[in-house]
Copies of this chain bind each other. A is one copy, B any other.
Amino acid sequence: MSRLNLTTQRKTILDLIQSCEDHPTAAEIMERLRTNGHQFAYGTVYNSLRYLTDAGLIRELKLGETACRYDGRTEDHYHIVCKKCGRVDEVLSAPPAEWIREVAAKTNYDVHHSQVVFEGVCNSCKHPNA
């Protein structure tokens, strides 16, 4: 609960994540930083990603791959991954509250959060000749 401290490194990484259309991994972020002429220490990138995540400025996504991805959209939303090409798209419709209530009732948990990852085949992969 301390006030926000955006160092140059953190700000650069935040800008990068907010301005990209996809959901890059830490490795991809480092690669893009290098491309943009920045050279931050390996650990600094990880530290910054954690800091920004804890501060709520970005989201850390665990999509079942080996590496986490990062997301500049902080509003609650979900993701769908294409089995064929690996692309990750946004899912903006939330699970019905009724279902969450049912789960809470049946499991006796206070449900705080749900992480949903859909898997399927994206539009381009459905129509390979287009």
**Which residues does A use to contact B, with CB under 8 Å?**
62, 64, 80, 82-83, 89-93, 95-96, 98-99, 102-104, 106-123, 126
Contacts and interface: CB of A to CB of B under 8 A. Distances in A.
25 contacts: A80-B103, A80-B107, A80-B109, A89-B109, A92-B106, A93-B106, A95-B99, A95-B116, A96-B96, A96-B98, A103-B118, A108-B123, A109-B123, A110-B120, A110-B121, A110-B126, A111-B120, A112-B120, A113-B118, A113-B119, A113-B120, A114-B116, A115-B117, A115-B119, A116-B116
For this chain, the copies found in one complex come to 2
Contacts of A64: 62, 115
**Most B CB within 10 A of own CB, among A80, A89, A102, A112:** A80
